[in-house]
Amino acid sequence: LMSAVPRQKDGANHLTRLASDYVALYIANVRLVEALASEYGFTAYYVWQPNPHISEKPATVFEQEIAATLSTASFQQDLTTLHRIIAANIPGAMDSVTPGRFQDLTGIFDTIEGPIWVDVIGHTTEAGAQMVGEEIAKLLSQSDSGGA
């Protein structure tokens, strides 16, 4: 696997390189899963989860407090930038490896006005978990009917 040696920060480029490395490592893991699927006769499906770092959903009062935490801490600011870069690059990278078997749920909550996020990590309320589960079920049912 790729080296996990910390890199020196050199302006905004370090986050771009880190995001690129992350996407490359993710795709390498997907290729491993695809090889296992081929060998053992199963089909893998992939879902990119939503997260509060890049969510565009209208925030509740509590979620505004989460957003304030994300915008004031230096580490969280870097993490938000990293999530944005990765989220912009993962779908295209996955299309070339797993056409029709990747679901990007980054924006699933963008129109939800009620509470969804319960922490800065990305855990959700039961309603949020149900929405994600329903999207995964759709992906799997489309594949069973040949629609994916």
Give 113's contacts (C-beta < 8 A, 6+ positions apart): 57, 58, 60
pLDDT (tens digit, 0 to 9) for every residue of the chain, 148 residues total? 445 545 555 656 889 999 999 999 999 999 999 999 999 999 999 999 999 989 999 999 999 988 888 788 788 889 889 999 999 999 999 999 998 899 999 999 999 999 999 998 899 999 999 999 999 999 999 876 654 4
Rounded to whole angstroms, the Cα distance separating 37 from 21 reads 24
Its sign, for the CA torsion 5, 34, 83, 137, is negative
Q: Any idea what the Cα angle at residue 124 is, between residues 122 and 129, rounded to 5°?
A: 120
Token digits for 37?
């699927």
Rounded to whole angstroms, the Cα distance separating 77 from 51 reads 14
